[in-house]
Amino acid sequence: MGGGIAQVVAASGRRVSLHDEVPGAVERGVAAMERSLTKLAEKGGPDPAEVLERVTPVDGLVPADLMIEAVVEDAGVKKAIFQAADGILPAEAILASNTSSIPITTLAAATGRPDRVIGMHFFNPVPVLKLVEVIRAVQTSDETTTAIVELAGDLGKVAAEARDFPGFISNRILMPFVNEAAHALMEGVAEPEAIDTIAKLGFAHPMGPLALADLIGLDTCVSIMEVLHEGLGDPKYAPCPLLRQYVQAGRLGRKTGRGFYKY
Ligand code: 3HC
């Protein structure tokens, strides 16, 4: 998602520094940006070369007005990044997380500027979907929230504000839907295609819950469900055993070529 976020921020005219510890990840992100920008240019979008010129790959955290972190859904990894960013970005900079579920309040508490820490949650594919869920930690100031809501508007997105409870709004609603679809499959109620067809044609969703889980990543879905389960304490949020089994098998969805479907 980091590449998608970098793309929409650069397309708004801002300069972006892009960093990923994983070898090859920045290159893959830039290649995805090129493909996406080419599609968008055919429909009147900005010149891909001009947008890409504003994106600079960097070797680590660098000073900036805003950081948008989009690493793996691991609270420890995210906390370490927020602590490091607190020492590198100027004191007035805002530190935002694209997390799907990790409490923003704990990320804010890891820094010396908790009032300038916020959740800025984009949706996949970032260049296409209009939503940014803006999550206020307990400590987040009104000024920070206003700045991020305005930025979302500048990126051509619509902000929906949420308080910092497990799963925020989006994943509290989406993950039980995905999980129930996995239970229906595990219990043999229907084949994946039939389950997804119900959602597509019966509820007018652009894709069914199993195909969507493959797009999000089954490992990410399980991580989010674990946060919901632990944070809200209700067994209904426990990840379906079939989802866990697919993750154990390395069937993580589109990114590994196999999840509920083969790619
Ligand atoms: N960049 C630019 N354009 C893109 C694109 C990208 N990355 N991906 C798709 N498009 C364009 C296509 O070119 C196409 O344009 P056209 O209509 O002019 O030809 C259009 O979007 C539709 O794409 P497709 O024809 O390939 O296929 P679909 O009509 O099925 O659309 C989809 C694909 C946009 C992914 C659509 O199926 C969709 O919106 N699916 C639901 C996605 C969703 O729910 N995402 C949220 C996931 S939850 C999340 O991210 C949060 C996390 O916390 C879990």
Predicted confidence (pLDDT) per residue in 66-112, tens digit: 999 999 889 999 999 999 999 999 999 999 999 999 999 999 999 99
Which domain CATH number covers 202? 1.10.1040.50
Query: Exposed, middle or buried by CB within 10 Å (0-12, 13-18, 19+), for 119?
Result: buried
- Protein residue with least CA distance to atom 31, ligand 1: 206
Please tell me the total count of domains within the chain.
2
Counting every residue, how long is the chain? 263
The pLDDT score that the predictor gives to residue 131 is 98
Retrieve residue 140's tokens.
């987040």
3-state secondary structure of 55: strand
Do 32 and 158 fall into the same domain? yes
Residues with a CB atom less than 6 Å from ligand 1: 36, 39-40, 43, 100, 123-125, 127-129, 171, 174, 206-207, 212, 216
**Within this chain, do residues 134 and 175 fall inside the same structural domain, yes or no?**
no
Q: What's the 127 CA to ligand 1 centre distance in angstroms? A: 9
Domain that holds residue 189: 171-256
| Residues carrying an active site annotation | 100, 121, 133, 171
Same domain, 19 and 125: yes
* Tokens 């999550």, residue located: 135
Q: Report the interhelical angle of 218-232 vs 170-186 (nearest 10°).
A: 110
Same domain, 13 and 96: yes
Q: Whose CA is nearest to atom 14 of ligand 1?
A: 39
Query: How many whole angstroms from 233 Cα to the centroid of ligand 1?
Result: 33
For residue 16, how many other CB atoms are within 10 A of its CB? Answer: 22
Query: For residue 263, is it within any domain?
Result: no
With bands split at pLDDT 50, 70 and 90, how would you rate the model's confidence at 220? very high
- Together in a domain, 196 and 246: yes
Q: Are residues 223 and 108 in the same domain?
A: no
Residue 174 CA: which ligand 1 atom is closest?
48
Pocket test for ligand 1, best of 120, 124, 128 (most atoms within 8 A of CB): 128
Q: What is the pTM of this model?
A: 0.94
Residue 50 domain flag: yes
Give the DSSP per-residue string, 143-209. HHHHHHHHHHHHTT-EEEEEESSTTTTHHHHHHHHHHHHHHHHHTTSS-HHHHHHIIIIIS--SS-H
Sheet holding 158-163, edge to edge: 66-69, 94-97, 117-122, 131-136, 158-163
Q: Are residues 245 and 194 in the same domain?
A: yes
Same-domain status, 49 and 157? yes
Q: Is residue 123 part of a domain?
A: yes
- What 3-state class would DSSP assign to 230? helix
- The answer on 193 and 113 residing in a single domain is no
Tell me if 261 is assigned to some domain.
no
Residues 148, 23, single domain; the answer is yes
Question: Residue 16 is part of a domain; what is its CATH number?
Answer: 3.40.50.720
CB 57 within 8 A of CB 33: no
Q: Is residue 228 part of a domain?
A: yes
Residues 134 and 241 in one domain: no
262 in a domain, yes or no?
Answer: no
Closest CA to 124 of 60, 32, 58: 32
Q: Is residue 68 part of a domain?
A: yes
Choose the final residue of a domain: 146, 163, 180: 163
32 CA: nearest ligand 1 atom: 7
Do 121 and 208 lie in one domain? The reply is no
pLDDT at residue 149 in the model: 98
- pLDDT tens for 110-147 read 999 999 999 999 999 999 999 999 999 999 999 999 99
Q: Averaged over 238-262, what is the pLDDT?
A: 98
Closest by CA position to 221, among listed 236, 240, 204, 207? 240
pLDDT at 192: 98
